[in-house]
Structure 1
């Protein structure tokens, strides 16, 4: 049994030890002045040095010779190996580990990955399907379920099914052009346009300020998760300070083409039989996506994946040098029910409470009466903040001037 889990997702390669995240490294490599940087430092300079940056070596893991050279590396497998060495060195890790692998990896890529790992400090005890072990504790009472996840260059939808106590990965749909890089481009364009319209300043005229927007984007998205309808972005150059107020609704609108492609793949994956959708925390950071996919449960974090993989590894029986790849899991009914109780599903809120009255979150009734006028203003702000987001009963929604509205679910004629 091992307590370490390495999650291979090129959005961010995460290493967990005893359930805690100890290393996080995006799938970027940058070669400058004879030195190669990996991870966050490479990502934060990728717009400054696009020709010297590679970020597809995990996505296109292969031993095909590189068409665009990077330092002394022959192919993407070489770069991936170097990235693993960098992660091991920076986290001071060497030893047994469970490898969580996206369902989008092909058989050939899994074989190459096995060879790459064999020459690294990570001694792989097993490979496990990421979607299966993110979602398996939520399968109790479900026949089918979809796990939605974000990668750097694509979006993945993993269909899981349950037959008695056996949970298996049925199939995986990949949405090209819907990864983090595509999402980030769309969001940064909206922010850039806001600067042009409001301050006549174009950050994209400078690689430095364009890079700044990409680097700050995760912080902007975190602000959105707190319930803001808009947020202020400020850039101070050597000549002036420029500001732009960015609308969350405009950000969500810019992503509608991406959402349509994801939903089309989801419909093709499910056919005529609907199934609930679970979503990873990194995918849930995209504004409007939870609402578009009609997600009804809280996003799943990497710590949950790590815990599931470690628990599963305790019951594995490995012969010799065999390294199993697990995309099917047999779990007793009682254990599945216990997992469900430890991670209860959260229900989506339908109403917000203001002055002891419940008002619908999504749509205002034309005949709705709200008094006094100050309360009406608060309600308008709250609905603007809630637009495009999935909110859960039991949470609160923060509005200007420190007002917090409780969120509830109202049932009409049944449970």
Structure 2
């Protein structure tokens, strides 16, 4: 018997076996009278078949009928059934295995009930149900009050948590305009306008070229949006059209939506970003510039939290409870897994990411046209990859701080982590990690 865990987020559902992702698939579907495509296969044809396309079925989990019916598929719940079955089959889930669900706190009781019914139809025992924000955040030191931010296809979910001896969910809220689909639409429109201006060709008027454009932007966002300049090529009828756009222009477009967070975040909020939210270009920098503290989570933090508190989360199919609080970590607690905390790979300033490689000396011109100014300590700060991880070296007297910690905090820290902020005078440089194939 194996205990699996499903991180239920339709931007990329992840089914874990132990600490490894056994199956992963985004919540896209193409439904025709004779065929059903799901996941990445559907995403790659999503703009080619707009009338048959659906990426709302997890978000709107219900018995609402589909506009286009397919083989044994008539409503949103049917699509959830087929998609979940595909994930379970890919992960080699067997009849005596168990499944724990990590879901957003905004999931309604009706949706949970319907999902449990789908699992029952699949003969899949659900033996645990936990708030994904609490599970992912639990292994990290957290302040008395924090807000976890996650992003799915159609909204961002903000989960307010309080910590004492336990980390407990207090409230949740959705921001619809910060869904990944809305952000992709905004970025695509920026680039489409650039194509029209420079080549007099509108890629959004033809399904095939629209799909090419969305594929390129989707990949850019999935890879962490670390390129300073994005070159887009569109092929149509033997001709190739090309344009370029700066990452800064795309970040500026996203910031118009990030400002919506100002309405729901109190001043100086401690924000905990899921690995999905951490990849959104410019979001961490926007929050930092707005006076908030930022912690970036790793992709496997949710499964690490589940494994750590498995006895508290696992409740059995006959007495299932929704776990929304877990004991806080203490200094003597063992980590949930032996997974290493991966070192940052890039340093970001004003929407431009620079690869660190084996080492990087920071100068006033490191970030191309985003000059740091004459007051920047030119060449006096180095980032170095060592056997202990990524470290920073600075000449004596350099105005350098880590996050919002006192100046001597850098001397106590052996290695820098993803999400750390190097504060050099008035400048804030964010450390991120970009994984190949992310």
- TM-score under structure 2 normalisation? 0.74
Taking the aligned partners of 1:21 and 1:413, their CA distance within structure 2 comes to: 35
Tell me by how many angstroms 1:219 deviates: 2.6
Structure 2 counterparts to residues 176-255 of structure 1, below 5 A: 176-221=176-221, 225-226=225-226, 228-255=227-254
User: In structure 1, what is the equivalent of residue 309 of structure 2?
Assistant: 312
Taking the aligned partners of 2:173 and 2:393, their CA distance within structure 1 comes to: 34
Structure 2 portions without partners, runs of 5+ = 351-362, 373-380, 385-391, 408-438
Taking the aligned partners of 1:211 and 1:266, their CA distance within structure 2 comes to: 36
> Would the aligned equivalents of 1:139 and 1:162 in 2 still touch at CA under 8 Å?
no
User: In structure 2, what is the equivalent of residue 132 of structure 1?
Assistant: 134
Q: Secondary structure at the match of 1:131?
A: helix
Corresponding position: 1:327 with 2:324:
yes
Taking the aligned partners of 2:129 and 2:279, their CA distance within structure 1 comes to: 27
User: In structure 1, what is the equivalent of residue 411 of structure 2?
Assistant: none
The CA RMSD over aligned residues, in Å, is 3.5
> Would the aligned equivalents of 1:166 and 1:330 in 2 still touch at CA under 8 Å?
yes
Taking the aligned partners of 1:224 and 1:334, their CA distance within structure 2 comes to: 32
User: In structure 2, what is the equivalent of residue 146 of structure 1?
Assistant: 147
Taking the aligned partners of 1:196 and 1:186, their CA distance within structure 2 comes to: 16
Q: Secondary structure at the match of 2:309?
A: helix
Corresponding position: 1:300 with 2:300:
no
Tell me by how many angstroms 1:5 deviates: 1.2
Question: Which deviations, in whole Å up to 9, do the C-alpha atoms of 1:141-177 show, x marking residues without a partner?
Answer: x1011111001111111111112x1111011111012
The answer to which structure, 1 or 2, has the higher relative contact order (CA under 8 A, 6+ apart) is 1
Task: Decide whether aligned partners of structure 1 residues 318 and 332 sit closer, same or farther in structure 2, where only a CA change above 3 A counts.
Answer: same
1:289 to 283, 308, 312: 283
Question: Which deviations, in whole Å up to 9, do the C-alpha atoms of 1:185-243 show, x marking residues without a partner?
Answer: 001111212222223322112110111111222332366644x3212112233332211
The count of residues paired between Structure 1 and Structure 2 equals 369
User: In structure 2, what is the equivalent of residue 120 of structure 1?
Assistant: 122
Corresponding position: 1:166 with 2:154:
no
Taking the aligned partners of 1:265 and 1:259, their CA distance within structure 2 comes to: 11
> Would the aligned equivalents of 1:159 and 1:171 in 2 still touch at CA under 8 Å?
yes
> Would the aligned equivalents of 1:2 and 1:313 in 2 still touch at CA under 8 Å?
no
Q: Secondary structure at the match of 1:321?
A: helix
Taking the aligned partners of 1:334 and 1:101, their CA distance within structure 2 comes to: 28
Structure 2 counterparts to residues 7-406 of structure 1, below 5 A: 7-63=7-63, 65-66=64-65, 68-71=67-70, 72-94=72-94, 95-140=97-142, 142-163=143-164, 165-221=165-221, 225-226=225-226, 228-267=227-266, 274-294=268-288, 296-297=293-294, 299-316=296-313, 318=315, 321-331=318-328, 333-334=330-331, 378=366, 380-381=368-369, 383=371
Taking the aligned partners of 2:10 and 2:264, their CA distance within structure 1 comes to: 21
Q: Secondary structure at the match of 2:262?
A: helix
> Would the aligned equivalents of 2:5 and 2:303 in 1 still touch at CA under 8 Å?
yes
Tell me by how many angstroms 1:314 deviates: 3.6
> Would the aligned equivalents of 2:231 and 2:245 in 1 still touch at CA under 8 Å?
yes
- TM-score under structure 1 normalisation? 0.78
Tell me by how many angstroms 1:35 deviates: 1.4
Tell me by how many angstroms 1:378 deviates: 4.7
> Would the aligned equivalents of 1:28 and 1:43 in 2 still touch at CA under 8 Å?
yes
Task: Decide whether aligned partners of structure 1 residues 10 and 394 sit closer, same or farther in structure 2, where only a CA change above 3 A counts.
Answer: farther
Structure 1 portions without partners, runs of 5+ = 353-360, 363-374, 385-392, 397-405
> Would the aligned equivalents of 2:128 and 2:316 in 1 still touch at CA under 8 Å?
no
User: In structure 2, what is the equivalent of residue 355 of structure 1?
Assistant: none
Q: Secondary structure at the match of 1:45?
A: coil
Taking the aligned partners of 2:238 and 2:343, their CA distance within structure 1 comes to: 50
Task: Decide whether aligned partners of structure 1 residues 170 and 50 sit closer, same or farther in structure 2, where only a CA change above 3 A counts.
Answer: same
Tell me by how many angstroms 1:297 deviates: 4.9
Taking the aligned partners of 1:309 and 1:333, their CA distance within structure 2 comes to: 17
Q: Secondary structure at the match of 1:290?
A: helix
Taking the aligned partners of 1:52 and 1:212, their CA distance within structure 2 comes to: 18
